[in-house]
Amino acid sequence: MLLIVSCTSQPEQPQEMDPHSNARPFEAVIEHLALDVKVDMEARRIEGTANYKIKGTGRIIFDTDGLEILSVTLGNGEAADHSLGDSTLLGRALEVKLPKGTDRVSIAYRTGDQAKALLWLSADQTIDGKQPFLFTQGQAILTRSWIPIQDSPGIRFTYEAKVSAPVGTMAVMSATNPQAMSPDGRYSFRMDQPVPAYLMALAVGDLAFEPLGERCGVYAEPGLLKRAAWEFADTERMLEVAETLYGPYRWERYDVLVLPASFPFGGMENPRLTFATPTILAGDRSLTALIAHEMAHSWSGNLVTNATWNDLWLNEGFTVYFENRICEAVYGEDYARMHALLGHQELQATIQRFSAENNAADTRLRLDLAGRNPDDGVSDIAYEKGFAFLRLIESKVGRPKFDAFIKEYFNTFAFQSMTTDRFLAYLDENLMKPNKVELNVAEWVDGEGLPANAVVPVSDRFTKVEAEVARWEAGTPASELMTADWTYHEWVHFLRHLPQPLGADRMAELDQAFKFTTSGNSEITFVWLDHAIANNYAVAYDRLVEFLTTVGRRKFVLPLYERLASTEKGMVMARAVYAKARGNYHAVTVRSVDDKLDWRSVSQPVAF
Ligand code: BES
Ligand code: ZN
C-alpha cells in the first residue's frame, strides 16, 4: 500500500478504501467546490453548477444519486468526456476524463424527484405556515443526492456557495451565514476549512436569527424564535466549557438552526450551524444535552473525522463522552450520572435486541458495513459502547491524563480523518504504554456485546426513583409518591422501570397523577406513548396520532410504529396513521418505517 506522508496543511489523502463511495481519491480528488444553485420550491428541485478545483490526473470519479447531469465541462471551457455508471446502493459513479493539465471541472446538474437528502415541506407543514421549507441531511451518504461530489468522510474540501432562494426566505448553510433576510433571495456562503461531504448542509425557509452571545445564536421560524433562544441560553457557556476541556473552537461561530418537526434526527453537527429538531424545546432547558452533543462534534467528528462509516464510533463515542463532560460542567455531576445511566440502559437494550435478532456482529465498535447501507449500522453501539470504552480508559489513567491525551489527539489530527487502527496505535503509544496500562482493547473494539470490565454508571437519584416505583407497586397511590424535585431524567427512569404489563387502569392512575399524556417533554412523551400502545391505554391515542403525524424524528417514531405493528389491530392503526404522516417524513425515516410496516406491499398491492 502507498503511504502518503503529509507535512503541509493540505488535507491528508484517505488511507483506506471507503466501501461507501465510488470516489478514487488516490487518482484524483476535489480540493475546493464553488456551488452555484437555485432552490426551486415549486418544482421541488435544486439546479445549478458545481465547479471543482481538483488535484490528480487521468480521471476523477464523483458520487451521484438520482442526479440529472446536464453537462460536464473542463476548466478550458471544453466539454468533458464523462460517463455515468450503473445504479447501485452507492448511487451512480460519474467518471470524468481529465486531459493533462486539467485542474478544474464544472458539472451542471439538477436533483431528481426522490433526492434522498432533501425534504421539501409545503408552508402548512411548517410551524408558522407562511413559506415552504427545504432542508438537507447529508450523513451518511446522502449529499450525493443533491450535489455531485466525492462523498466519503475521508475526503475533505473547502467550499463556497451562491444560493438563489425564493424572495421571503432565508438560506443557511454549514458555512458563514446571513443574519437577516436578503431582499432578492440571493445568498453567498464560504466554508474555508476543509470538510467532508456529509457535512454540507442547506436549509431554506422563513427564518430569523437571534444572538445568544458573542459567538452563538439561533435560527428558527419567527414564531418559534423566542422560545428557541430561551431554551438554548446555555449555549455560549457550553462552548466555553468545551474549549476549556479540549482546546479552542476552530469554526468561529456556533449557531443552531431549529427545523420543522419532520427533521429525522435529534441533531446534526453541520459545521458552524447545528441542525436541530424542535422536539428539544421542552420549555425548561432539560433537553439541551443535545446541543452539547452536536457542539462536541465540532472536535470529535468535524475536526477529527471517522475515515469510513465503519469507524463511526470515533465520531459518536467520543462525542457522547465529550457531551457528558460538558453537561457535567454546566449542569452538575448528578445530571451527568443520570444522563450516562439512561444511555447505558439504551446500550443494554440494543445489545439484547441485536442478539435476539441474530445480529450480534453489529454490537462491535468497529463495524463492517461494506455492501450495506451505512444507515443500517447506526445504533447505540457506536454511541454508548464507544462512550463506555472511553470511560473505562479514563478510569484506568485518571481524568487529567485522559483529558490531556484527548486534547492532544484533536490537535494532532485536526482536519484529518481517522481509522480505528490509527487511533488504537496512537492510544497505545501515547497513553497506554507511558502509563503501563493494559486493556482488553481487541475485545472492546472487535468483540461482540459489552465486555465484563465496563464501568457501569451509578446514580443515587435513580436509586431513589426505583424506591418510589417499588412503593407504588406495593400499594402507595401514585399521587403520594415523592416526585417533587424530579427532573426529566428521573421521569424517564421511572417510566422505564414500571412493571409491565400495567393495564389501562394503572396507566390511568399514573396519567391522572403526573399528566404524562400532555407532557411537553418529548422524551417523556415517547416512553409514555410506548407504554400506552403496549397497555391499550386508548386515552393517549389522540396524542399518539398527533405525535406521529407531526414529529419525524426517527428515534421516536420508528419504535412507536414497531410497537404498534406487534399486534394485528395495532398494525392496521400504524398503517392508517403512516398513510397520513409519511409525506411529512424525511427519506431517512421513511426508509426505516417502510421496512417495519412492509409498506411497499401495502401501498402497491401485488396484482394477481
Ligand atoms: N451525527 C449524528 C446523527 C447521524 C448519525 C446521522 C449517523 C446519520 C448517521 C448526530 O450527532 C447525533 O448523534 N444525533 C443524535 C443526538 C443525540 C445522541 C444527542 C440524535 O439525532 O438523536
Ligand atoms: Zn452525534
Q: Are residues 329 and 436 in the same domain?
A: yes
Question: Is residue 506, in this structure, part of any structural domain at all?
Answer: yes
* Mutation pick for ligand 1 pocket among 136, 137, 265 (CB with most ligand atoms within 8 Å): 265
List the catalytic residues: 294, 383
Number of domains in the chain: 2
Residues 519 and 390 in one domain: no
d(CA 69, CA 91): 13
Is residue 139 in contact with ligand 1, taking CB distance under 6 Å? Answer: yes
Please report whether residue 112 resides in a domain: no
Ligand located closest to 553 CA: 1
For residue 579, the tally of other CB atoms under 10 A from its CB is 13
Distance 293 CA to ligand 1 centre (A): 9
* Closest ligand to residue 289's CA: 1
Q: What distance in angstroms lies between residue 541's CA and the mean position of ligand 2's atoms?
A: 31
If 0-12 CB within 10 Å is exposed, 13-18 middle and 19+ buried, where does residue 500 land?
exposed
Report CA-CA distances (Å) from 427 to 239, 311, 417: 26, 15, 16
Whether residue 440 sits in one domain with residue 331: yes
Which residue, by CA, sits nearest to atom 19 of ligand 1?
Answer: 290
Give 94-137 pLDDT, tens digit per residue: 999 999 999 999 999 999 999 999 999 999 999 999 999 999 99
CB distance 280 to ligand 1 below 6 Å: no
Instruction: Determine the longest span between alpha carbons in the chain, in angstroms.
Output: 82
Which of 268, 269, 554, 591 best tests ligand 1's pocket when mutated (most atoms within 8 Å of CB)? 268
β-strands 156-164, 82-84: how paired? unpaired
Determine what percent of the chain falls in helix, strand and coil, rounding each to the nearest 5.
Answer: 40, 20, 40
Q: Could you tell me the distance, in angstroms and rounded to a whole number, from the CA of residue 143 to the centre of ligand 2?
A: 17
| CB proximity list for 481: less than 8 A, separation 6 or greater | 468, 471, 472, 513
Does 31 fall in a domain? no
Q: Answer yes or no: is 518 within a domain.
A: yes
Compute the residue count for the chain.
608
Residue 382 Cβ < 6 Å to ligand 1: no
Q: Which of 274, 307, 292, 293 is nearest to 413 (CA)?
A: 307
- Round to whole Å and give the CA distance between 84 and 62: 9
Which letter does DSSP use for residue 535 in this model?
A: T
pLDDT of residue 14: 62
Q: Which ligand is nearest to the CA of 267?
A: 1
- Whether 290 lines ligand 1, by a CB cut-off of 6 Å, is yes
The answer to whether position 383 is within a domain reads yes
Q: Which of 257, 274, 316, 346, when mutated, tests ligand 1's pocket best, judged by the most ligand atoms within 8 Å of its CB? A: 316
Query: 440 and 343, same structural domain?
Result: yes
With a cut of 50, list the residues of the chain below it in pLDDT.
1-10, 608
CA separation for the pair 99, 77 (Å, rounded): 13
Ligand 1 atom at minimal distance to the Cα of residue 266: 21
CA 444 to chain centre: 24
Give 534 Cα–ligand 2 centroid separation in angstroms.
Answer: 30
Q: Examine the domain organization and report whether 364 and 394 are in the same domain.
A: yes
* H or E segment to which residue 300 belongs: none
CB contact at 8 A, 216 and 254: yes
- CB of 140 within 6 A of ligand 1: the answer is yes
Establish if 517 belongs to a structural domain: yes
Residues paired with residue 28 on neighbouring β-strands, in sequence order: 56
pLDDT tens figures, 479-525: 999 999 999 999 999 999 999 999 999 999 999 999 999 999 999 99
Distance CA 25, CA 57 (A): 11
Q: Is 313 in the pocket of ligand 1 (CB under 6 A)?
A: no
3-state secondary structure 157-218: EEEEEEEECCCCCEEEECCCCCCCCCCCCEEEEEEEEEEEHHHCCEEEECCEEEECCCCEEE
Mean pLDDT, all residues of the chain: 96
Alpha carbon of 236 to ligand 1 centroid (Å): 21
The whole-angstrom separation of Cα 544 and Cα 537 is: 11
Q: Which residues, including other chains, have CB under 8 Å from residue 97's CB and lie 6 or more apart?
A: 58, 59, 80, 81, 82
Contact 235, 274 (CB under 8 A): no
- Among 446, 474, 509, give the residue marking a domain's end: 446
**What stretch of H or E contains 307?**
none
pLDDT digits (tens, 9 = 90+) for 355-387: 999 999 999 999 999 999 999 888 999 999 999
Residue ID of nearest Cα to ligand 1 atom 20: 266
pLDDT value for 64: 99
Is there a domain that residue 507 lies in?
yes
Asked if residue 367 belongs to a domain, the reply is yes
- CB of residue 574 inside a 6 A radius of ligand 1: no
Residue linked to cell 415541506:
121
Let me know whether 433 and 497 are in one domain: no
Domain boundary among 396, 412, 446: 446
**If you compute the radius of gyration of the chain from its CA atoms, what whole number of angstroms results?**
24
**Ligand 1 pocket member 297 (CB < 6 A):** yes
CA 98 – ligand 1 centroid, Å: 38
Pick from 547, 574, 572: which is nearest to 561 by CA?
574
Distance (angstroms) between ligand 2 centre and the Cα of 265 equals: 10
Considering every ligand atom shown, identify the ligand nearest to the alpha carbon of residue 316 and give its number. Answer: 2
Q: Are residues 322 and 428 in the same domain?
A: yes
Distant-in-sequence, close-in-space partners of 324: CB < 8 Å, separation ≥ 6? 336, 339, 340, 387
Tell me which ligand sits closest to the C-alpha of residue 378: 1
Residue nearest to ligand 1 atom 6, measured at CA: 139
For residue 110, the SS3 value is: strand
- pLDDT value of residue 6: 40
Answer yes or no: do 338 and 442 share one domain: yes
Question: From the CB of 378, is ligand 1 less than 6 Å away?
Answer: yes
Domain identity same for 426 and 368:
yes
User: Does ligand 1 have an atom closer than 6 angstroms to the CB of 117?
Assistant: no
What Cα–Cα distance (Å) separates residue 441 from each residue in 344, 399, 430, 503? 19, 19, 15, 45
Looking at 417, 446, 475, the residue that finishes a domain is: 446
Same domain, 328 and 375: yes
Grid cell locating 257: 438552526
CA of 75 to the centre of ligand 1 (A): 38
| Nearest CA residue ID for atom 21, ligand 1 | 266
For 419, half-sphere exposure in the C-beta direction (CA atoms, 13 angstrom radius) is: 11
The range of the structural domain enclosing residue 335 comes to 307-446
Q: What is the C-alpha separation between 322 and 386, in angstroms, rounded?
A: 11
Which ligand has the nearest atom to the CA of 198? Answer: 1
Q: For the domain that residue 487 is a member of, what is the CATH number? A: 1.25.40.320
CA of 70 relative to ligand 2 center, distance in Å? 36
Q: What is the pTM of this model?
A: 0.97
Report yes or no: 58 and 144 within 8 Å, Cβ to Cβ: no
Q: How far is the CA of 605 from the centre of ligand 1 (A)?
A: 35
Strands 92-98 and 133-136, by their bridges, are: unpaired
CB 73, CB 106: distance < 8 Å: yes
- Residue 134, classed as helix, strand or coil, is strand
CB neighbour list of residue 45: distance below 8 Å, 6 or more residues apart: 110, 111
Which residue owns the Cα nearest ligand 1 atom 22? 266
Q: How far apart are CA 465 and CA 461, in angstroms?
A: 6
Residues 590, 534, single domain; the answer is yes
Find out whether the beta carbon of 269 lies less than 6 Å from any atom of ligand 1: yes
Q: DSSP letter string over 409-442?
A: HHHHTTTEEE-HHHHHHHHIIIIITTTT----HH
**What are the backbone angles phi and psi of residue 289, rounded to the nearest 5°?**
-55, -30
Q: Point out the ligand 1 atom lying closest to the alpha carbon of residue 588.
A: 8
Q: What is the atom index within ligand 1 of the atom nearest the CA of 277?
A: 21
Going by CA atoms, what residue is nearest to atom 11 of ligand 1?
A: 268
Q: What is the DSSP string of 1-52?
A: -------SSSPPPPSS--TT----TTTEEEEEEEEEEEEETTTTEEEEEEEE
Residues 388 and 501 in one domain: no
